[in-house]
Amino acid sequence: MSSIPSGHHLATILPSKGAEFEVTHRPTPTPGPNELLIEVKSIALNPVDYYQREHGFSIANYPAILGSDVAGIIISAGSSVTAEDLKPGTRVAAFASCFYEKGAPDYGAFQTRVIVPAANAVPLPHGISFNEASLLPMSVETAWAGWYSIGLARDTKYTAADKKGLLVWGGASSVGSAAVQIAKSMGFIVYATASEKHHGYLKKLGASRVFDYKNENVVGQIIKAAKEDGVTIQTGCDAVRGALEQCMEVLKELKGEGMAKLASAPRLPEDFPKVDGVEVKFIGAPADAEERTEHFHFVFNVWLKEKLANGEFVPSPKVQVIQGGLEAVNKGLDELKKGVSGVKLVLEV
């Protein structure tokens, strides 16, 4: 590519629905009063990225710039951003708001300069690399949006004596591993599923018991274990496709007297089976813009900031770098679509 004109930066645009991403340069924007301009160092890839590429989901106009997970350095901050730990020069991870901005180019992660709301950024401790930090935004936000969707209060706090369990199906995924850690911090006894090779890792993150989802009797194993432990499970997070009915079966058997609630990261089919006593909600952040900003502020500026600083939350799962930087967006998304296990695909910019 020819030299980049002054005041411009490299960006990967999607010219039309179903097209391949193209690398070009575009003018570098100026952040609004409550926004940050970030120099992007690492970008993590998510399934929603290739879904948007192929189906035009939540894209208003083309060319669009997609991507949500970034880590980098604050270049400039808007006039209303007064937080000392979000000043220029600060290392941050941030949730780029491409999805909420309908693909508007200034707000997509797949570029070397991106605008993000200050509420969506978290300062990074020195021990966390940019690659590791890029795993955080989508996974942590999706897990917390799941709890919001099913009405699980932020200040939920149990002790071991309460015998309150929480099911995470797909614990080795980025969303699943975040859900495990958050649930553990709330005092839940966490029951998770994953391939056997990931069991030890998930126990380190806070899962009490981990089950191999490939086992044909995995539902029976979870139910048996929880009953032996004397634990009721009224709350669950389904982080992967194809497990909805199994999750509902577990919750139906272990919910006790109350209503069970399941947060589903995969979109729910219109004709999915209903189970008495189990309420299922598709994960989503607040629809109201003001409420959503407050939600993001809590997740990133308050909760995650504290947990990263004291080491109570760690980026997970493992990083797998896709070589080639922005030029490799198509290759990385194609690889992600084929399926990965226990890793998160990351581009170094």
Q: Three-class SS string for 259-287? A: CEEEEECCCCCCCCCCECCEEEEECCCCC
Residue 48 inside a domain? The answer is yes
> What's the total number of domains in the chain?
2
CB 86 within 8 Å of CB 73: no
Interacting residues of 22 by C-beta distance below 8 A, sequence separation 6+: 12, 13, 14, 15
Question: Going residue by residue through the chain (349 aa), what tens digit of pLDDT does each one get?
Answer: 558 999 999 999 999 999 999 999 999 999 999 999 999 999 999 999 999 999 999 999 999 999 999 999 999 999 999 999 999 999 999 999 999 999 999 999 999 999 999 999 999 999 999 999 999 999 999 999 999 999 999 999 999 999 999 999 999 999 999 999 999 999 999 999 999 999 999 999 999 999 999 999 999 999 999 999 999 999 999 999 999 999 999 999 999 999 999 999 999 998 898 999 999 999 999 999 999 999 999 999 999 999 999 999 999 999 999 999 999 999 999 999 999 989 999 999 9
Domain finish residue from 232, 247, 282:
282
Strands 232-238 and 35-44: unpaired
How far apart (Å, rounded) are the C-alpha atoms in residues 170 and 180? Answer: 10
Instruction: Say which CATH number the domain at 40 has.
Output: 3.90.180.10
Q: Give the relative orientation of helices 136-150 and 289-296 as an angle to the nearest 10 degrees.
A: 120
Range of the domain at 116: 8-135+288-348
In a domain, 158, yes or no: yes
Is 75 within 8 Å of 113 (Cβ atoms)? yes
Is there a single domain that holds both residue 65 and residue 185? no
Q: Which one of 227, 249, 282 terminates a domain? A: 282
Residue 2 lies in a domain: no
Angle, in degrees to the nearest 10, between helices 174-185 and 136-150: 60
- Residue 104 CA: distances (Å) to CA of 35, 114, 199: 15, 11, 40
Residue 128 lies in a domain: yes
Q: Cα–Cα–Cα angle for 152, 154, 156, nearest 5°?
A: 70
3 part of a folded domain: no
Residue in the structure block whose two tokens are 């930066």? 9
178 within a domain of the structure (yes/no): yes
Query: What's the confidence (pLDDT) of residue 245?
Result: 96
Q: Is 195 contained in some domain?
A: yes
The most distant pair of C-alpha atoms in the chain lies apart, rounded to whole Å, by 67
- 82 and 100 co-located in one domain: yes
Residue 1 lies in a domain: no
